[in-house]
């Protein structure tokens, strides 16, 4: 009994010592220092990060986080991309500068709906009222934000309005120095309400231009070089946000007492309430990224001309970037910074050198094309092919710094003057191809007096001249050119690496040419890069080192048919191949024809044959889809029912052929004058229905009046003047589609009763 008691005590003591050792070891482990650059002053907008720090959530994952308050003159994006800060906050999920996308990685989004709006004087109720007014906003807000998209859509610019740089002084608005200013729902509205200042709000989201805010982002370098650290930072930040939202009063007290008293407790409380609304927690988890919203924003920016159409949205979400770029190759911080600044790697190749590489029908194909495709997936920036007509042109472009890299080349003293080379990744023997009736050659020096073709600029020519100074080398433009000259008898033979020769002879010169000799030398082929950027060579070496023999063999197997039988009956193979091609061609032709027919049937099933608009079936489908969004998200949705006035008289007076032309022109006017987010369908004979998502009654009335004006001022076929009448109705949650359309129909009837060529909004109190 006594022994058992002491045994238990001893075990307890050992356990306590082990636990203490574990705690001390963890405590002794140094925390990694990282920094987060905020895009404004300390306030509830950054509550999650503040509470993650205050409650020790960052420490728990081994991070010592510095929260950096915004100071005037700081470029947040540059701070992160230059690695002065590890992470940053930005009010868009992508960063645009000078019409170009910046290479950033989106880690998390906390405001799924941007609080960025225009606060306007009471007489400004809609975007069109901003014409001729003084509008204050930051440079980025007026160029690349949802506000900029809305202004562009309503044709508001420097020519018809005064766009002023933001002073961040609310008194400029109060004292009527400006008519409108950009603001955050979380901040300035509270101040205006406290001062009893009258104002209106214009929210871009109400007009179909939605973006997110409080986006946590980083550089490719940070994300790919330190994926675990970045993942821990996201998780701890999300945990901090969950705590802040669950304990708003404690969070407000922490911000006010320990970070900033610039905002009052009441203002912080107001901000906390609006923050919860902006996070859309009923639909999104804390920190969730929304790729669809980002793609839509980029498309809208390009459609508006605010972002170059050539810009392509590459992989920009943290998890996707790790999946696409994070396997195998890990670049240093210096290399990642170099790549981010580089933005694009320009590639030159030998355009007629299969199976290694070629450009056929504008496409880059071959062994190196597959290798480069693998490398592209591991790089944060694109590799862009610079097409050339031949290898000599590629060499000239490399010397002129118009090409950054070669996919495959051999190192020579001449090339080292302008290129660096990676370790070789292909090592092949050199061979001689001649006509079938020539004897096999034991030593190339035996035929040194004969004309031997070599592609101009290839290292093989230099090797041969060094080994046999008096050899008769004739430079040709390409392998096809060289082998064709051998076939015609102009050259005795053509020299290249064995793989290229075997491939070309099998495909183009079977039964005509043969491989007559293998030289002692092998040619070692590497990737090459411009030598004025040594960082690029280091990056390429990392990629080459990570390319395994098994991966390379799979690529070889795809492009090479190996045979050692010199007596193989190529004619039989070609006949068999021709039969297979004939069968496949028939199948492919049938498949393409069937696919086209199916696509045509699909188009016919949803399209009005005469006008090219949606038909009634497709319009009903869109109505049901958009009505579901109204019921779920409580968004605005309006419809316009348009009817051509006295259309029967047009048909009777000019005939149905002219009437059809009028309907077609009428449909085109509608299509050309609605938003890209609107839908239009032919509802009946001369009736058309326009569906306007995210649009309230006032703006729908404006659109309807705009359409009627365009119609009455258009000269239709046969110089006919046409007018139209319209009825407008708004969807309300719980109200059926039929009831809403019936309302638009009643309003349309009222327009016709009141003299036509006008718009009426449905009002159950005034319309019967």
Which pLDDT belongs to residue 574? 58
Which pLDDT belongs to residue 383? 92
Residue 453 has pLDDT above 90, yes or no: yes
Residue 499, number of CB atoms within 10 A of its CB: 20
Residue 528 has pLDDT above 50, yes or no: yes
> How many residues are recorded in the chain?
768
For residues 681 and 622, the answer to whether their CB atoms sit within 8 Å is yes
pLDDT band at 764 (very low <50, low <70, confident <90, very high): confident
Separation of alpha carbons 525 and 552, rounded Å: 14
From 3.40.50.300, 3.40.30.10, 3.30.2010.10, 3.40.190.10, which CATH number describes the 116-207 domain? Answer: 3.40.190.10
Separation of alpha carbons 202 and 233, rounded Å: 36
Which residue spans of the chain are classified as CATH 3.40.190.10? 31-109+224-303, 116-207, 343-568
pLDDT band at 19 (very low <50, low <70, confident <90, very high): very low
- pLDDT (tens digit, 9 = 90+) per residue, 146-177? 999 999 999 999 999 999 999 999 999 999 99
Residue 768 has pLDDT above 50, yes or no: no
Residue 585 has pLDDT above 90, yes or no: no
Both ends of the chain: CA-CA distance in Å? Answer: 97
For residues 428 and 499, the answer to whether their CB atoms sit within 8 Å is yes
Which pLDDT belongs to residue 566? 40
Which pLDDT belongs to residue 27? 44
- pLDDT (tens digit, 9 = 90+) per residue, 67-121? 999 998 899 999 998 889 999 999 999 999 888 888 899 999 999 999 999 999 9
Residue 271 has pLDDT above 80, yes or no: yes
Report which DSSP code applies to 72. Answer: T
The CA–CA distances, whole Å, from 173 to 118, 195, 196, 197 equal: 11, 12, 13, 10
At 367, which helix (H) or strand (E)? Answer: helix 367-378
- pLDDT (tens digit, 9 = 90+) per residue, 624-664? 888 888 887 788 999 999 999 999 888 888 888 888 899 99
Which pLDDT belongs to residue 15? 43
Strands 87-90 vs 32-37: parallel, antiparallel or unpaired: parallel
Which residues have C-beta within 8 Å of that of residue 59, sequence separation ≥ 6? Answer: 31
pLDDT band at 22 (very low <50, low <70, confident <90, very high): very low
Which pLDDT belongs to residue 573? 52
Q: State percent of the chain over pLDDT 90.
A: 53
- Assigned fold of 31-109+224-303: D-Maltodextrin-Binding Protein; domain 2 (3.40.190)
From 3.60.15.10, 1.10.1200.10, 1.10.10.10, 3.30.70.270, which CATH number describes the 616-761 domain? Answer: 3.30.70.270
For residues 506 and 561, the answer to whether their CB atoms sit within 8 Å is yes
Mean pLDDT of the 336-364 span: 88
What the block records as the tokens of 467 is 């080994």
- In three-state form (DSSP H/G/I as H, E/B as E, the rest C), the secondary structure along 221-243 is HHHHHCHHHHHHHHHHHHHHHHH
- Please, what is the average pLDDT of the chain? 86
- pLDDT (tens digit, 9 = 90+) per residue, 200-230? 999 999 998 889 999 999 998 888 888 889 9
Separation of alpha carbons 220 and 324, rounded Å: 12
Locate tokens 């199976």: which residue? 355
Report which DSSP code applies to 163. Answer: E
Which pLDDT belongs to residue 3? 40
At 135, which helix (H) or strand (E)? Answer: strand 134-137
Residue 10, number of CB atoms within 10 A of its CB: 10
Residue 668 CA to chain centroid, in angstroms? Answer: 31
Low-confidence winner among 375-389, 464-478, 599-613, 752-766 (lowest mean pLDDT): 599-613
DSSP string for residues in 630-695: HHHH---EEEEEEEETTHHHHHHHH-HHHHHHHHHHHHHHHHHTS-TT-EEEE-SSSEEEEEEET-
Mean pLDDT of the 479-491 span: 92
- pLDDT (tens digit, 9 = 90+) per residue, 30-62? 899 999 999 999 999 999 999 999 999 999 999
- Give this prediction's pTM: 0.51
- CA-based nearest residue to 756, from 644, 639, 650, 640: 644
Locate tokens 């990282």: which residue? 34
Range 343-568: architecture per CATH:
3-Layer(aba) Sandwich (3.40)
Mean pLDDT of the 311-337 span: 75
- pLDDT (tens digit, 9 = 90+) per residue, 681-707? 999 889 999 999 989 999 999 999 999
């Amino acid at each position: 009994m006594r022994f058992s008691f002491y045994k238990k005590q001893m075990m307890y003591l050992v356990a306590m010592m082990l636990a203490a050792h574990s705690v001390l070891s963890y405590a002794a482990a140094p925390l990694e220092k990282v920094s987060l650059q905020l895009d404004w002053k300390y306030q509830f907008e950054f509550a999650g990060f503040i509470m993650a720090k205050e409650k020790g959530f960052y420490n728990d994952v081994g991070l010592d986080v510095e929260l950096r308050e915004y100071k005037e003159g700081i470029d947040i994006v540059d701070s992160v991309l230059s690695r002065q800060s590890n992470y940053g906050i930005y009010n868009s999920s992508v960063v645009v500068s000078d019409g170009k996308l910046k290479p950033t990685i989106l880690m998390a989004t906390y405001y799924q709906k941007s609080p960025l709006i225009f606060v306007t004087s009471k007489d400004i109720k809609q975007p069109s009222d901003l014409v001729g007014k003084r509008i204050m906003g930051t440079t980025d807000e007026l160029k690349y934000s949802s506000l900029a998209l809305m202004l562009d859509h309503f044709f508001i610019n420097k020519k018809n309005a005064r766009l002023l740089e933001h002073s961040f002084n609310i008194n400029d608005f109060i004292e009527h120095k400006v008519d409108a200013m950009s603001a955050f729902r979380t901040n300035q509205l509270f101040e205006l309400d406290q001062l009893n200042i009258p104002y209106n709000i214009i929210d871009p989201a109400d007009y179909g231009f939605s973006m997110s805010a409080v986006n946590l982002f980083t550089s490719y370098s940070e994300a790919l070089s330190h994926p675990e650290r970045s993942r821990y930072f996201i998780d701890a930040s999300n945990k901090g946000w969950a705590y802040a939202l669950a304990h708003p009063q404690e969070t407000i007290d922490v911000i006010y007492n320990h970070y900033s008293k610039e905002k009052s407790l009441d203002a912080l409380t107001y901000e906390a309430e609006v923050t919860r609304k902006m996070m859309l927690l009923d639909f999104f988890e804390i920190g969730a990224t929304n790729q669809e919203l980002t793609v839509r924003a980029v498309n809208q920016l390009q459609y508006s001309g605010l972002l170059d159409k050539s810009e392509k949205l590459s992989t920009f979400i943290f998890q996707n970037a790790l999946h696409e770029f994070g396997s195998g190759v890990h670049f240093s911080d210096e290399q990642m910074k170099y790549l981010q600044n580089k933005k694009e790697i320009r590639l030159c190749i030998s355009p007629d050198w299969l199976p290694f590489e070629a450009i056929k029908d504008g496409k880059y194909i071959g062994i190196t094309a597959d290798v480069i495709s693998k490398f592209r997936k591991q790089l944060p920036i694109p590799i862009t092919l610079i097409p050339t007509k031949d290898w000599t042109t590629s060499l000239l472009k490399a010397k002129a710094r118009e090409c950054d890299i070669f996919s495959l080349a051999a190192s020579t003293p001449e090339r080292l003057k302008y290129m660096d080379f990676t370790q070789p990744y292909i090592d092949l023997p050199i061979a001689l191809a001649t006509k079938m009736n020539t004897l096999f050659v034991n030593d190339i020096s035996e035929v040194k007096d004969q004309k031997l073709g070599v592609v101009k600029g290839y290292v093989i020519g230099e090797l041969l001249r060094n080994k046999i100074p008096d050899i008769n080398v004739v430079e040709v433009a390409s392998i096809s050119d060289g082998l064709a000259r051998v076939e015609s008898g102009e050259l005795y033979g053509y020299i290249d690496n064995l793989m290229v020769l075997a491939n070309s002879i099998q495909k183009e010169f079977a039964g005509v040419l043969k491989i007559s000799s293998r030289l002692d030398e092998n040619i070692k082929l590497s990737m090459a890069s411009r030598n004025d950027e040594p960082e690029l060579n280091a990056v390429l070496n990392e990629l080459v080192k990570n390319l395994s023999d098994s991966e390379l063999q799979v690529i070889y197997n795809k492009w090479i048919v190996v045979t050692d039988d010199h007596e193989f009956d190529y004619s039989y193979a070609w006949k068999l191949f021709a039969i297979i091609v004939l069968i496949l061609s028939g199948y492919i032709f049938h498949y393409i024809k069937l696919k086209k027919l199916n696509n045509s049937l699909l188009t016919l099933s949803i399209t009005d044959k005469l006008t090219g608009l949606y038909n009634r079936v497709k319009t009903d489908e869109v109505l049901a889809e958009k009505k579901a969004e109204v019921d779920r998200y409580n968004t605005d949705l309006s419809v316009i029912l348009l009817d051509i006035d006295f259309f029967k008289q047009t048909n009777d007076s000019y005939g149905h052929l002219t009437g059809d032309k009028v309907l077609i022109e009428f449909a085109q006017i509608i299509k050309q004058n609605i938003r890209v987010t609107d839908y239009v369908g032919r509802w009946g004979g001369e009736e058309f229905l326009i569906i306007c998502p995210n649009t309230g009654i006032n703006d729908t009335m404006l659109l309807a009046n705009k359409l009627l004006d365009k119609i009455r001022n258009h000269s239709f076929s046969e110089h006919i003047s046409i007018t139209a009448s319209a009825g407008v109705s708004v969807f309300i949650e719980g109200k059926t589609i039929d009831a809403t359309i019936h309302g638009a129909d009643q309003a349309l009837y009222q327009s016709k009763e009141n003299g036509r060529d006008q718009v009426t909004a449905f009002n159950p109190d005034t319309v019967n």
